Structure 1
């Protein structure tokens, strides 16, 4: 099973869950759902730790970068992520309800599975408490590192992040297919599985189309400064895009992204700075995926998403996912706390989010890193202007 990729294992988990819920004795379904119930509680417990482990060292690392270049890159990356989420919400609200309205409804009187054992694992702190704590400590450690040259707390948080990443890789990711199987076994028993799968397939296509459309928008905006054909620039980013599809990690794709970005004429100095930084703070593709998935899950549950309820979720996503680790599903893991605290998602809804997000994680990552190339090209034009204004003699010699 270890040699099988995560996406095939998730598909196997979904199919297995549906079959167990429909055809197997009820006690088998209840046994599987017991694991899902306990695993869901474990996810709820680790969410605040993920927030602390991702955000504190992520903020603490930023101060080591050059001031204006950092501010420009971070500002553009955040605006891109925020814009992607807002656009994704309105497109999803225009299309997803129609997709779900055309589906086959389950039996409203059907009863799902109940666990044999109910185990409560309360988190050590609430999600909002964890977010505020992360901001305070992240900024504080940043100050200590770069004003006082003190690294003790930063090194501690780096090791803490390593522990959390290891737990995600060794425990959460391997057992996710079983968790998802339990969720779909419950939905199959209550008659909701086939409608959900039908919706998932169509939402998956919608998300990928939004990714591609947003990439074109990003490069079209960059072309207003670079003067280059946006489609030619996108073509040179294809090696990075396809690599990200396979690795599902922006960090692991950085070497290929750097080559692709430099092939678009971005200076080495800017590319070497912007690409690694954007790999951790620019998550437009992941935001599109999370927003569209969240809209689909809410509408599936009979809800009606409202923009001003979603806006705080979108605004916080761009911060919460900072320094999400280079593991499959890092973004959705970081977003679980916001899903529960802002959108009120239940354990089952969070499980559906994980399944739907993981199914297209490679495409979201590919959108992220391809957009990094547009940001690098845009930033490079401003640094060229600055260099031309401040170092005319050097610029002339180099040309």
Structure 2
């Protein structure tokens, strides 16, 4: 089953859920709804742990390195991520109202969940702390790790990060297909599935086009700074792009990204510094996907999608997803807390966001790592190195 990748499992779960929703009696849907309720509550319990486990060690690691160059690289990566999010917001605000039925998930009910079959019973799993408390604690611990010379807290947080990663890898990710199957079975039974499937197709196409636009902008800017042909630089990075599509991991793609960045002529020292760092802090592709998917879900539910509501969310995404790409779907897992606290997503909407995001996770990762090569071009020039392209 492990060889059966996450995306095929997700697609199979969606199709099976639709089939179950079409042919099953209500008691079967109640059983799946009960599993979804338990899993959703467990996810709510884990969200603060994910935030602390990812963000605190990620910020702590930024305390090491080349000082000024580290700050410059992190600054460029953050700006690139925020610009990608803003482009995704503007595009979604213009395009999505024309291709989606705004407010259609309400189904004439005050609460969209009223149309769904309720679970047989509920098990409360209150989180150990609120999302904002977890964010503040993660920032405090991360900055503390970066500021002090001791290794005790750093090692503790690294161990905790490994625990959270194993929790996601071994429990949450394997059970997600069952969770998604139950969600789609319930939505099919309630008559919502046709609308949801059309959302998948339309939003997916828009996101892929946005990824291409973002990469062209990044390499146009990087090529202009470095004095290189942006299209040739981008063409050389294609092996990293397709490797990321296959692995769904920024970390696993680092060797290929490094090789292709050096082929573009980036100094070895600059490439060795920038590429591994940006694999954890540069998330332009993931940000495009998260902003676009969240806008789609919010519009379908008639929620507020104003710039004032989304801009703080975009700014926080660049911070909270630090170190998230190390696990499959890590970006959306790290963003769950923001979706819940800043955009007011309930468990059903969080589940829908997971499904929408994971359906194109590999393409977001591919955009992330390919864009790392453009940042390397900029940092290489700032460092005073000239490009020496390899044949």
C-alpha contact 2:106 2:302 (8 A) present in aligned 1? no
* Bigger Cα displacement from structure 2, 220-229 vs 283-292: 220-229
User: In the alignment, what sits opposite 1:257?
Assistant: 257
User: In the alignment, what sits opposite 2:71?
Assistant: 71
User: In the alignment, what sits opposite 2:59?
Assistant: 59
Alignment of structure 1 residues 1-399 onto 2, 5 Å? 1-101=1-101, 108=108, 111-145=115-149, 150-384=150-384
Q: 2: CA distance between counterparts of 1:298 and 1:21?
A: 24
Q: 2: CA distance between counterparts of 1:245 and 1:108?
A: 40
Q: 1: CA distance between counterparts of 2:235 and 2:63?
A: 34
**Alpha-carbon deviation of 1:279?**
0.4
Secondary structure of the 2:128 match is coil
Q: 1: CA distance between counterparts of 2:36 and 2:219?
A: 43
Q: 1: CA distance between counterparts of 2:170 and 2:297?
A: 27
Secondary structure of the 2:120 match is coil
TM-score, length-normalised on structure 2?
A: 0.95
**Alpha-carbon deviation of 1:62?**
1.1
**Alpha-carbon deviation of 1:50?**
0.5
Q: 2: CA distance between counterparts of 1:163 and 1:325?
A: 16
Q: 1: CA distance between counterparts of 2:105 and 2:309?
A: 26
**Alpha-carbon deviation of 1:104?**
8.5
Secondary structure of the 2:344 match is coil
**Alpha-carbon deviation of 1:189?**
1.6
Secondary structure of the 1:63 match is coil
C-alpha contact 1:196 1:300 (8 A) present in aligned 2? no
Where does structure 2 lack aligned partners over 5 or more consecutive residues? 387-391
**Alpha-carbon deviation of 1:180?**
0.7
Q: 1: CA distance between counterparts of 2:102 and 2:31?
A: 33
Q: 2: CA distance between counterparts of 1:234 and 1:371?
A: 9
Query: Structure 1's 14 and 108: CA in aligned 2 closer, same or farther, altered over 3 A?
Result: farther
Q: 1: CA distance between counterparts of 2:52 and 2:107?
A: 42
Q: 2: CA distance between counterparts of 1:252 and 1:323?
A: 13
Query: Structure 1's 68 and 351: CA in aligned 2 closer, same or farther, altered over 3 A?
Result: same
User: In the alignment, what sits opposite 1:391?
Assistant: none
Q: 2: CA distance between counterparts of 1:361 and 1:209?
A: 15
User: In the alignment, what sits opposite 1:392?
Assistant: none
**Alpha-carbon deviation of 1:3?**
2.3
Q: 2: CA distance between counterparts of 1:48 and 1:325?
A: 17
Deviations 1:203-254 (A, max 9, x none): 0010011001100000000111122111110100000000000111101100
C-alpha contact 1:61 1:142 (8 A) present in aligned 2? yes
Q: 1: CA distance between counterparts of 2:101 and 2:136?
A: 39
Q: 2: CA distance between counterparts of 1:204 and 1:39?
A: 26
C-alpha contact 1:103 1:198 (8 A) present in aligned 2? no
Q: 1: CA distance between counterparts of 2:347 and 2:106?
A: 20
* Bigger Cα displacement from structure 2, 185-194 vs 119-128: 185-194
**Alpha-carbon deviation of 1:303?**
2.4
Q: 1: CA distance between counterparts of 2:159 and 2:327?
A: 17
Q: 2: CA distance between counterparts of 1:7 and 1:89?
A: 26
Secondary structure of the 1:101 match is coil
